[in-house]
């Protein structure tokens, strides 16, 4: 074999290793019920974004994983959504209480204004 053939063989092996690494990372994420995304795969494998989009074998594996996970909700997101719903409910309750207090204070203020006006009128008459 000449240098060119050796280089091609080395590149082929490197490519196969990358494909194998990407496929195993995808399968691992599916088994762990972790949402498969390009950024997560990039972080896990150290491979480039373009590799996951351009390599047909890896792209096919990604598409299959995404089809399997269609409708899957990320567990972290589910917890965050639940926390946000609770927070919203608490804030809405606070708003209702503050509106009620505001209404009561306006009524009290109105009564005080009427009393003050009566007092001023009585002072003016006398």
Same domain, yes or no: 52 and 25: yes
Q: Are 29 and 68 in contact (CB under 8 A)?
A: no
Between 39-43, 65-69, 101-105, 111-115, the lowest mean confidence (pLDDT) is in 65-69
Q: Determine the straight-line distance between the first and last CA of the chain, rounded to whole angstroms.
A: 122
Q: Are 83 and 60 in contact (CB under 8 A)?
A: no
pLDDT of 4: 83
Q: Name 58's Cβ contacts closer than 8 Å, sequence gap at least 6.
A: 19, 22, 23, 26, 51, 52
Confidence band for 91, pLDDT divided at 50, 70 and 90? very high
Q: Are 21 and 47 in contact (CB under 8 A)?
A: yes
Per-residue pLDDT of 41-81, as tens digits, reads 999 999 999 988 899 999 999 888 888 887 665 667 778 88
Q: How far apart (Å, rounded) are the C-alpha atoms in residues 65 and 32?
A: 12
Q: Name 47's Cβ contacts closer than 8 Å, sequence gap at least 6.
A: 18, 21, 22, 41
Same domain, yes or no: 86 and 106: yes
Same domain, yes or no: 31 and 91: no
Same domain, yes or no: 92 and 115: yes
Boundary (domain end) residue, out of 51, 72, 93:
72
Range of 8's domain?
1-72
Same domain, yes or no: 59 and 120: no
What is the tally of structural domains in the chain?
A: 2
Same domain, yes or no: 46 and 80: no
């Amino acid at each position: 074999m000449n240098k060119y053939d050796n280089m091609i063989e080395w590149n082929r092996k490197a490519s196969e290793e990358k494909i194998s690494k990407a496929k195993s990372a995808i399968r691992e994420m599916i088994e762990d019920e972790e949402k498969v995304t390009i950024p997560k795969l990039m972080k896990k494998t150290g491979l480039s974004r373009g590799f996951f989009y351009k390599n047909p074998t890896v792209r096919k594996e990604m598409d299959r994983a995404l089809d399997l996970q269609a409708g899957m909700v990320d567990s972290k997101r589910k917890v965050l959504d639940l926390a946000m719903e609770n927070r919203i409910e608490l804030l809405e309750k606070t708003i209702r209480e503050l509106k009620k207090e505001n209404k009561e204070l306006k009524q009290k203020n109105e009564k005080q204004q009427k009393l003050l006006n009566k007092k001023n009128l009585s002072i003016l008459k006398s």
